[in-house]
Structure 1
Amino acid sequence: MGFYNYQLTLDKILEYGCTVYPTREIVYRDRRRYSFASFGEKVKSLAASLQKIGVSKGDKIAVVDWDTDVYMMSYYAIPMIGAVLHTVNIRYPPEIMLKTMLHAEDKWIIIRDEFLPLLEKARNFLQGIRGVITYSDTGEKVRTSFKTYDLWELLSGEGLQQPELQEDTPATIFYTSGTTGDPKGVWFTHRDLVLHSMSVALVTGRPPLLAGQKDVYMILVPMFHVHQWGFPYVTMLMGTKYVLPGRYDPYFEITLMKREGVTFSAMVPTILHMILTHPEAERNPEVFKGWKVMIGGSALPSGLAYLARKMGVNISVGYGLSETAPVLTVAYYNSVVEGLPEDDRFAQQIKTGIPIPLVKLRVIDEKGNEIPRDGKTVGEIVVRTPWLTREYYKDPERTEKLWKDGWLHTGDLAVIDEYGYLKIVDRDKDAIKSGGEFIPSLILEDLISTHPKVSEVAVVGMKHEKWGERPVAFVVPRGELREEELLDFLAKKVEEGKIQKWWIPDKFVFVKEFPKTSTNKIDKKALRKALEEGQR
């Protein structure tokens, strides 16, 4: 028969994990528990049943669920038969959820019982749906006005006809968070996800995180959000126990950490802040000693980073976007930084990091020239990797802008230091331009967050007749805090040479909490809107 052209498909990752780590566990809350081997059998049964009810290669299957065992089975069962997994953002408004499902041309839906009212309200718009697969945690059958299948019955399916898939077969599709307009669809192939997962697995095993097969993962990135940063696949490669929390709740997450021995997590800064400041955290300080945490999604404020360090958390920052599957950089140690003193190493591991394997990354000026590594000059991050989205689905105009000059343009503005580590200073759309010069909002946020009376902070631009824009800081205070205290604090930072005097915000707005996006990031778009309405 001769040479066999081995294809990089996701079923190979599942097969590896089940073969090499058959007794390792996947745990869903306090409800269900599987060994890797039994989980793999459930995935094959679901895949076989999907084939039998009529799912064809190329069909898109929407999943509407929390972070559950069912969702994780879908991560494997759907792509391994050549169908496409659509991870629907359940935190979108119902109308936007429906728009993404229609735009993706979903043919099937896997849905948890509590989300069914949303589906029924949209019944007249979903004429192209061939079938709905429902389930309840109680095991009770759930009916809909659609042709309905019970998920628990499908998990007893047999006779999987495993197709010989090509590695360039589409595997997933989802929609960006839409902070700059309507959400945009991005899709990825089996090869994209296999290579991405292998690269992420490599760097999580490097210092400072040093994650290994004895670690217990609980990833607090929603499963609808950018492949949960690849960890449902990474866990099979690493052989790590995987804990699924379902619907997010800080109290229950701390309880799960204690009960299951969680040692590794990934999340956005807001989730970390919610956990570390929860009353239950103070009652269970031992849970956080040695906890390894990868942060991404938005900038990590220094105040939060040092709080985590004080509590014994081993933290490292990563970076990526929906269009990049997502991980591009992680703040692991390179050969220069690993020899620095501890405090200097920590300062590097809370920056945006260095490229993970197979990522080609440049930071360029407006003429396309690479910026110097001086930690001061700002440029845009552009990238090439073997796992980037090829296009915005059915959107050639925005695709052309994304892929200008053969590089994927991230729209993120950053500096590079002498060691080669990135630090993002702004999103292009969040940058504040005052008198023709940029004020980096992330640097201001980072400094303000270190004030002992500041819990959370966000800086946005406010329209100004003379300067174009001026910065305004929204602050969630910790106790009593006056504007004069913050002005004095920032004046000292000017004297220390950390910021320019004209960067100091014109206004401080104290709030009880921030509006959040569907992925738990601070919603600066909503803050800017509030300012605009206040100026009228």
Structure 2
Amino acid sequence: MTTILNEHDNYHQAEEAYGFPLIIKQLLNRAKIASTNQTISYADKVTYTYAEFFKRINRLANVLKNMGLQAGDVVAVMDWDSHRYLEAYFAVPMSGMILQTVNVRLSEEKVLYTVNHAAPKALLLNAEFAPMIKDYRDDAPSIEHVMWADDAEDDKVGGEKAELPDYVDGEYEALLAAASDEFDFLDFDENTIATTFYTSGTTGDPKGVFFTHRQIVLQTMASTLASALNAEGQGARYNDVYMPMTPLFHVHAWCWPYGATMIGLKQVYPGRYLAPKLVDLIEQHKVTLSHGVPAILQMLLKEMAERGRKFENLKLLLGGSKLNEGLAKAAIECGIEFMSGFGMSESCPVLSRAVFDDKTESMTLEDNLNYRCLSGSPIMLVSMEIWDENGKPQPMDGKSTGELVIRAPWLTQSYFKNPDAGNELWKGGWMHTQDIACMTADGTLSITDRLKDVIKSGGEWVSSLEVETILSFHPSVADIAVIGVPDERWGERPLALIVLKPDHVDTKMEDILALGHQAVERGHLPKYGVPSEVRFLPDMPKTSVGKLDKKRMRSMYSENLI
């Protein structure tokens, strides 16, 4: 019971008034009334209604209870984006347990590190990832129960099922079928930890972040509201069809599985991210709402180009890394209505997103593309400042740069079992993003670089993101990254690493750098910002979540591998 404190005697809370804790089960309230006949699909394998989804959540909760798990225990998931994963998103935290979403794209060593660090008691394991946990009884001793899922077995027609490994409790569907479809999810403190996962940083071991029920509910509501307030054609609507293209292990898939379920949308989960399958599902289910990183956008554009078609009514929220204007233009031409945003693993994740209103409708095409590649403005409840190296806030003039620091009700309060790193993250009472940014008078955020990626040439700072944007306009460029490399005279010089489009393999370095020199003549780029050299790569080194891995690129350069 929530207590209302007031010095006036007339303000009393009724004895039976419901305090309504902000816990994840509340996100199901509307859908249980208004969307029971709406559908949820797992690729071409499974389709069922929300009414069945609610029963399956109850069954999974009973499976966990029957295993002897209790509130506070950690349940890990290693699976593709599936209906099973969505069920775990709700059943695990609604039972008072902590959901660990394991990044299966990390190396086996790092996967084992994150599992052992979080110490889950139960694991939902897709058979494809079983080799990653090796003999878990020795390598991940905290795990006491394993729920097995094997999509390959589901695809077989006739014949006998393969025997399950001796260490599993049972096959997922069989376990659910044997459990009751009734479960009473009790209320508890909204500040209870609901989820944990590990950042895929390029230095050291991954760091664990964690989020409460209250934080996830507030993030889901604020992010959904920020989307829905946008002009027609750019925001979420009741008639949208949702499919994630950000893995469910990565920052709650930007909380959109929670948001889509809260609204009651038709949902499609694609499994493994293969471009032909993604496009097939988009066309088959008429998907209208999704999100992803620029690498996913590149996959979609390439696949659609090979099919000779364009997308229809697809709205795509982009984040993870800065979008260059060359890729943005290609997306518009291919029929994708996209908008950029900004967030991070530590922020649950969405902090800002593009705003579309009368101002944007009157923009020229060039200005509109430029605007779409910025990082939007803060969503509701988010406070942002730009600090110089002395912690002094900088003016919102679109020019003054510094580190972006933030406050919001859904930010991780520290790193799991790593208080020193948590204290550094929250130095001065604001969360430090490690991003260099500036902000215009109307609150539009522009990320100009990462602190660790800024290039200092001859004592002057060079923004790698700015150079990438300019050179990306060359029609031969499929992907680009600019890094700083040692230089005897200038200390550092920018080096452009480029992946060429298949039909432009004969492009010369000078042709691409010409765009940089033209930008210098027009006053858009300082002379020292033009790279001295371009090196062509067959593919671009990226992290497990599709971001440019510039640390790896710098290492490859120092080892003469590029």
> For the superposition of Structure 1 and Structure 2, which TM-score range results when normalised by the shorter chain?
over 0.9
Task: Classify the secondary structure of the residue corresponding to 1:155.
Answer: helix
Give the whole-Å Cα distance in 2 for the aligned partners of 1:507 and 1:93.
Answer: 32
Give the distance between the partners of 1:446 and 1:285, measured in 2 at CA.
Answer: 26
2:158 alignment counterpart: none
Q: 1:25 and 1:284 mapped to 2: Cα distance?
A: 30
Aligned residue number for residue 307 of structure 2: 283
Aligned equivalents of 1:244, 1:482: Cα separation in 2:
42
**Counterpart in the other structure of 1:94:** 108
| Structure 2 match to 1:242 | 267
Specify the alignment match of 2:123 in structure 1: 109
Structure 2: which amino acid aligns with 1:66?
W
Instruction: After TM superposition, list the pairs within 5 Å mapping 1:4-153 onto structure 2.
Output: 4-137=18-151, 138-139=153-154, 140=161, 143-153=164-174
| 1:439 matches 2:462 | yes
2:454–2:464 contact (8 Å) kept in structure 1? yes
Instruction: Encode CA deviations 1:455-489: one digit per residue, 9 max, x unaligned.
Output: 11000111223322211110112312111112222
Does the 8 Å contact 2:30/2:264 carry over to 1? no
Q: Which amino acid aligns with 1:403?
A: W
Distance 1:509 1:342, change over 3 A: closer
In the alignment, which of 376, 389, 394 is matched to residue 353 of structure 1?
A: 376
Name the residue aligned to 2:551.
525
Change (3 A) 1:292 1:7: same
Other structure's SS at 1:102 match: helix
Counterpart residue number, 1:377? 400
Instruction: Map 1:31-430 to 2 at 5 A.
Output: 31-137=45-151, 138-139=153-154, 140=161, 143-156=164-177, 157-158=179-180, 159-208=182-231, 209-278=234-303, 280-283=304-307, 285-286=309-310, 288-333=311-356, 337=360, 340=363, 344-430=367-453
Which residue of the partner structure matches residue 522 of structure 2?
496
Kindly provide the amino acid, as one letter, of the partner of residue 363 in structure 1: I
Structure 1 residue 417: Cα displacement: 2.4
Query: 162-171 or 324-333, which moves further after superposition?
Result: 162-171
Alpha-carbon distance change, 40 to 281 in structure 1, aligned in 2, over 3 angstroms: farther
8 Å CA contact 2:388–2:402 kept in 1: the answer is yes
Residues 83 and 171 in structure 1, CA contact (< 8 A), matched pair in contact too: yes
Letter of the 2:76 partner, please give it. Answer: A
Give deviations 1:120-146, integer Å, cap 9, x for gaps: 344412222111111222354763343
**Cα shift at 1:5:** 1.6
Please say if residues 325 and 369 of structure 2, whose CA atoms lie closer than 8 Å, have aligned partners that are also in contact.
no
Deviation, 1:419, is: 2.8
Could you say what secondary structure the match of 2:559 adopts?
A: helix
Please tell me the root mean square deviation across aligned C-alpha atoms, in Å: 1.8
SS in 2 for 1:285: coil
464-473 or 245-254: which moved more? 464-473
Tell me the secondary structure at the aligned position of residue 89 of structure 1: coil
- What one-letter code is carried by the residue in structure 1 that aligns with 2:175? L
Q: Which amino acid in structure 2 is aligned with residue 214 of structure 1? A: N
CA deviation string 1:239-290 (max 9, x = no partner): 2211111001101111111111011110000110111022x4442524x133
Contact 1:330 1:354 (8 Å CA) reproduced: yes
Q: Which amino acid aligns with 1:285?
A: R
Change (3 A) 1:36 1:378: same
**Counterpart residue identity of residue 71, structure 2:** K
After TM superposition, give the deviation of residue 350 of structure 1 in Å. Answer: 2.5
Provide, for residues 272-310 of structure 1, a one-character-per-residue CA deviation record: whole Å limited to 9, x for no partner.
0111022x4442524x13311110000001000011111
Query: CA 1:191 to 1:519, structure 2 compared with 1: closer, same or farther past 3 Å?
Result: same
Contact 2:74 2:98 survives alignment (8 Å): yes
Q: Deviations over 1:93-115 (max 9, x none)?
A: 00100001111111111101121
TM-score (norm 1): 0.96
Please give the alpha-carbon distance, in whole angstroms, between the structure 2 residues aligned to 1:200 and 1:534. 44
**Contact 1:263–1:290 (CA under 8 A) maintained in structure 2:** yes
SS state at 2:205 partner: coil
Match of 2:16 in 1: 2
List per-residue Cα deviations over 1:312-337 (Å, max 9, x = no partner).
21110011000000000001236755
One-letter code of the match for 2:258? Y
The amino acid of 1:19's aligned partner reads I
